[in-house]
Structure 1
Amino acid sequence: MAQTKLDWRLLPVFIVACLVVSGFGGLFQPGEWYQGLNQAPWTPPSITFPIVWGILYLFIAVAGWLIFARGNRNMRLLWVAQLLVNASWSWVFFGMHQPLIALIDISILTLLVATLIWLSFRSQPALIVTGWLLTPYLVWLLIASSLNAYVVIYN
């Protein structure tokens, strides 16, 4: 099966979409409320989060670009859905101070990303790289879910 040529001019659109989500999340900082919570002993240092998320958003953007170039409609919808659910977590957790609702949010996000990875690995060979790009994101979501769950259980 011949692959469509990738249009590099569209990649910035996906990078900007991820920057917008990142910027929206950045509006809701941990602050005093979060500092006063019982946090998991395995919580990474604060500096870890912007570094990891910066790398992950780049991977998410490239994956989205590949999915929109070569994926099917369901994969495109899943990519958009995960980005929207991703955007809401910081608002719910840090902005609204609702760790339980945030845990539901991140659980849905994890399921969306896992499904997207599964579809990528089952799809055409050109999309296998998408699955690998999204795998670190899934791992980080599992870690973040455990941190969120700890806050729900111990506060």
Structure 2
Amino acid sequence: MRASTLAKTALATTAAAAAGSVATEPSGSWYLSLRKPPFQPPSAVFPIVWTALYADIALTGAKALDGLADRNQPAERRRYRRALAANLLLNGAWSWLFWRARSPWLAAAECAVLAVSSADLVRRTGRISPAAGAALAPYALWCGFATVLTTAIARRNPGR
């Protein structure tokens, strides 16, 4: 894996993480007033999981991009880069829809799109490097879980 590619994917994932973090308010009164499902993890779990997932995205993304460069597939590399960028934009947008717009239903719908995008990224990555695709799979699973969780919060808090 090239250091320059890893630096770019690390910068992109850091930007997505920062964008989401700026909007996130787990100790705010609005969020604390929401009814949450029994399978809601403790708040301390989220930064740990997301930090690991962002590192995973950066590493597997760099592996895939370098694999495509090594195979001399510039068009596919551009498509992968666009898919990764779109995924990271969706990733950062969820926090703004949920926390700042205070729109759980809109956030749940957006999260479903993020889950599909994440599964597609796993598929794309796995075609280039099966090991990297397998390493990225927890990200898609977590996004699926986040969709279920956000939908459950929206259902328990109608009109919010």
TM-score range with shorter-chain normalisation?
A: 0.7 to 0.9
Matched, 1:93 2:98: yes
Q: What is the percentage of aligned positions where both structures have the same residue?
A: 31
Letter in 2 for 1:105: E
Tell me the equivalent position of 2:36.
39
Tell me the equivalent position of 1:103.
108
Alpha-carbon deviations, 1:109-128, whole Å to 9, x = none?
1101111222333x24xx21
Matched, 1:21 2:23: no
Structure 1 residue 12 displacement after superposition: 2.0
Structure 1 residue 144 displacement after superposition: 1.2
Distance in 2 of aligned mates of 1:111 and 1:46: 25
State TM-score, norm by structure 1: 0.88
Structure 1 residue 64 displacement after superposition: 1.6
Gaps of 5+ in 1: 1-5
Structure 1 residue 90 displacement after superposition: 0.3
Structure 1 residue 11 displacement after superposition: 1.1
Distance in 2 of aligned mates of 1:44 and 1:111: 22
Gaps of 5+ in 2: 69-75
Secondary structure, counterpart of 2:112 in structure 1: helix
Matched, 1:54 2:54: no
**Conserved 8 A contact 1:67-1:76:** no
Tell me the equivalent position of 2:87.
82
Distance in 2 of aligned mates of 1:75 and 1:9: 17
Structure 1 residue 104 displacement after superposition: 1.2
For residue 10 of structure 1, the aligned residue among 5, 13, 17 is 5
Matched, 1:135 2:137: yes
Letter in 2 for 1:11: L
Equivalenced residues, count = 147
Distance in 1 of aligned mates of 2:136 and 2:114: 12
Tell me the equivalent position of 1:146.
148
Alpha-carbon deviations, 1:74-119, whole Å to 9, x = none?
2222111101110100011001101111111111111011112223
